[in-house]
Amino acid sequence: MQHFARIADGIVVERINLLDTMPETVLDSDGNPIVGPDGAFVQQNRPLTLTDVYPAEIAAAMRPCPAEVTQGWRVEGEAFLPPAGAPEPTLDEAKATLSAAVNVERDAIIASGYQHNFGATAGIRTLDTRTEADRINWIGLKSLADYMIADGQGATPIPIRDASNSTFTASATTVSAAMMSLLHWFSAVMAASWSLKDAIAAAEDDDALDAVDIDAGWPD
């Protein structure tokens, strides 16, 4: 996960989280998608940059920052500093701040969606998981796929809408497996956040708290 601060007049006005990479279809020299042996478009991960998400003029006002930086911090040269005059936080306050940062990280990962390779011509797709309604919809789709499989219709295609609002189809058997993988991924994200929060709560001093790396342990 990448962390950026949007800065105005030497003050952090917003903290942004971005994933490290994003999938991209590989093109040939003529600009056409390359199709792999399985019939799916060949995908590769490339670094995700600010200009993939924000207009250039907004991205220009952002720069990488440590995970603990929040709105209101000062910027002096290359250093990020707590607001002027702010007292040193107590251990409990520092724990609360870091735990809140874990929540931000967790929510950013979930909001980025779940990537799954559906094979065939569908290839790698990103599915929306931003809201509870999204996740309920995927659970409902798995139930439909499981019903079709039990009815002997495992090869029957089911239409799916991905995060880019593109509709594709996959067999009921493929959809059921994909939805199970999505649920496992979501559970792993939540478990990673709980583990980090447990480590934060267990820290007995500032050094132990500083050793908790909230960018580590998240599922791919």
Express each pLDDT in 203-214 by its tens digit: 999 999 999 999
Q: Which two tokens stand for residue 211?
A: 């050793």
* Predicted TM-score (pTM) of this structure: 0.67
Whether 86 maps to a domain, the answer reads yes
Whether 165 maps to a domain, the answer reads yes
Whether 63 maps to a domain, the answer reads yes
Whether 219 maps to a domain, the answer reads no
* Order of strands across the sheet that contains 11-18: 62-64, 2-8, 11-18, 74-76, 79-81
For the chain, the average pLDDT equals 87
Strand partners, 75: 80
Whether 3 maps to a domain, the answer reads no
Q: Which domain holds residue 23?
A: 9-210
Total domains, the chain = 1
pLDDT tens-digit profile of 85-134? Answer: 767 788 998 899 899 889 988 988 898 899 999 987 889 999 999 888 99
Of 202 and 59, which is predicted with more confidence?
Answer: 202
Whether 116 maps to a domain, the answer reads yes
Return the ∠ at Cα 60 (arms to 71 and 20), rounded to 5°: 75
Whether 215 maps to a domain, the answer reads no
Q: How far apart are CA 71 and CA 46, in angstroms?
A: 29
Whether 113 maps to a domain, the answer reads yes
pLDDT beyond 70 at 21: no
